[in-house]
Chain A
């Protein structure tokens, strides 16, 4: 069965600091990977996605993520965070094929201090 691990549960950064949130998945086959963001009191919104091709994908609001197949990782990065990035971030995986099950990590709460 597929699983997703997010090792950082709570991250506190000052504005302008760089961000990297870890995401590792376990599944031997082809996967599609996503990062979602949930601002306080809101629903999840898609940040970026990886399907195939260039392993470095760019998303909205200056976020990017790198897929490293050999490490089963899909870490989220941002060079300089802003106070408005305070939110919870979720990594998710969908396995290729007709199987439609989506698995989420437990989330990382990011707090950016002005």
Chain B
């Protein structure tokens, strides 16, 4: 079982470039999430999608956009990358909807550096 798959695993961008991080899950989960992880700050929620067709802002949405393309896929886009967006990005999914007592499943992360 693949679980949650993120691509790419590593990326280096120049300031001002755009980039889309891809995330796909094969567990038929309803909810999907994007986090960034920075030293000493834990995981901060960027955007989430409670169900197909809906997206909501998390704690740190500025500079990002998301698309819930279908039930499987949830992409994160940086329209104009800034050095402050250098981070490790994690996608997660969980069953959701029929009970909030399900844990999240995480992808392996994308290490993004903005020069």
Residues on A facing B (Cβ under 8 Å): 6, 9, 32, 34, 36, 42-46, 49, 51-52, 90, 92, 94-107
Contacts and interface: CB of A to CB of B under 8 A. Distances in A.
Interface string B41-62: 1111100101000001010000
B103 A90 contact: no
B50 A98 contact: yes
B101 A49 contact: yes
A44 B90 CA distance: 9
Interface of B: 30-31, 33, 35, 40-45, 48, 50, 56, 58, 90, 92, 94, 96-97, 100-101, 103-104, 106-109
Contacts of A36: 106
Contacts, number: 69
A77 B101 CA distance: 21
B42 A97 contact: no
B109 A43 contact: yes
Given A43-B90, A43-B107, A90 B101 contact: no
Nearest to A9: B40
Contacts of A34: 103-104
Nearest to B90: A43
A100 B50 contact: yes
Top 6 A-B residue pairs of the complex, sorted by shortest distance between their CB atoms: A106-B42, A100-B50, A51-B101, A43-B106, A104-B43, A44-B106
